[in-house]
Amino acid sequence: MKGWQWPTGNEIYPQKDERLGKVIQALQDAAILSARNTPRGTQLKLLFDLAGKQTVLFKPSWYRRHTIIEGTVYSGKDRHNSEIVAFHLGAILNLRWTPIVVGRRVSLKEIYRLADDELQATMNKNDTRQCVYGKCHYCKPSEAICDDPETDQLEGALLLLVPGKFSKYRSPWQRTYRDGVQAEWEQADGYCGRVKERLPLERLLDLIDVAVFDFLIQNGDRHHYETREDRILLMDNGKGFGHPFKDHFDILAPLYQCCMIRKTTWERLQIFSGGALTETLQALSEIDLLHPLLTKDHYDAIERRLLLIYTTVEMCREKYNSRIFK
């Protein structure tokens, strides 16, 4: 696999390169040689070393496809299918800022055999099923995930690690994560003007692209963002697709507060009007081993949210004319 040679700035893979298919195939098929914990973050994740000298991150499945996550926009655990669909959506919108992600089923019994001592110490049995709770901020034995009793396997998302040095920043549109307490951006008029004073235009336009992307998948948990070579990456996309009947409009705050968007982003969004976006997403999902990745309700929600983005941009254009396009 040669995928690690591609990334430049925030473009993780090229727009056109037939080798991408080979990388995806290798991620789906390559033998897992070893497994270990990765304590980074708040949720269970594992590191696998694959044949071909690649290290990948494994995010397990916690929910069935039809499960609806109630509560706040950031409630629940990560959804592995959200990571996969985010990769596909980024490719469609030419926001090639996500890791390369595939769905894959693994046997935890086999993973136990390949695991190092530290990981084995966090793996237990539930009846005859092999389980794992791992090592992370919130990991504990009472919240272990187990092989499916019918298939003796566990679904998950495999993420190809992105090379390079990363910098991490607090999002200007971060939530407070406290009930009844609003952040400055939720209550201050002219908030975007203050952001413009602190950030260069290129960074702000990146954040608006991210807001459009996150609104489509309903990821309202991007409290920080990471950059590579000073450009934003779309990492940690697991909090999408929690509730197909809710649209948290405040995810779009960077767009409607700043009233600007890249001309290329706007043109790309228009290409996929009239159902073309979800048709393309569904076609891409068919190449994944875990197909189908989303329910019809979630696809309908994507189309509904796309119309809301169109409406928001048109509202801004009525106020500021074509100056909104950068």
pLDDT at position 15 over 80: yes
Residue 2, pLDDT score: 54
Residue 163, pLDDT score: 85
Residue 4, pLDDT score: 57
Please indicate if the annotation marks 78 as binding a ligand: yes
Mean pLDDT calculated for residue range 154-180? 95
pLDDT at position 7 over 80: no
Please indicate if the annotation marks 236 as binding a ligand: yes
pLDDT at position 1 over 60: no
Weakest mean pLDDT among 10-14, 48-52, 203-207, 224-228? 10-14
Please indicate if the annotation marks 247 as binding a ligand: no
Q: Does the active-site annotation cover 221? A: yes
Mean pLDDT rounded to a whole number for the chain: 95
Helix (H) or strand (E) holding 87, with range, is helix 80-92
Q: Which residues contact 139 (CB under 8 A, 6 or more apart)?
A: 43, 44, 122, 133
Catalytic residue among 214, 221, 247, 288: 221
Mean pLDDT calculated for residue range 264-275? 98
pLDDT category at 140 given cuts 50, 70, 90 is: very high
- The span from the first CA to the last CA of the chain, in angstroms, equals 37
305-315: burial string, b at 16+ Cβ within 10 Å, e else: bbeebeebbee
Please indicate if the annotation marks 226 as binding a ligand: yes
Please indicate if the annotation marks 70 as binding a ligand: no
Which tokens is 106 given?
A: 């693994």
Closest CA to 160 of 82, 240, 63, 49: 49
Residue 18, pLDDT score: 86
Q: CA separation (Å) from 61 to 41, 84, 90, 171, 240? A: 17, 12, 21, 27, 13
Domains of the chain: 3-160 (no CATH), 166-324 (1.10.1070)
Q: CA separation (Å) from 5 to 29, 177, 190, 281, 282? A: 20, 38, 42, 26, 29
Whether pTM exceeds 0.75? yes
Write the pLDDT tens digit of every residue in 58-75: 999 999 999 999 999 999
Mean pLDDT calculated for residue range 271-282? 98
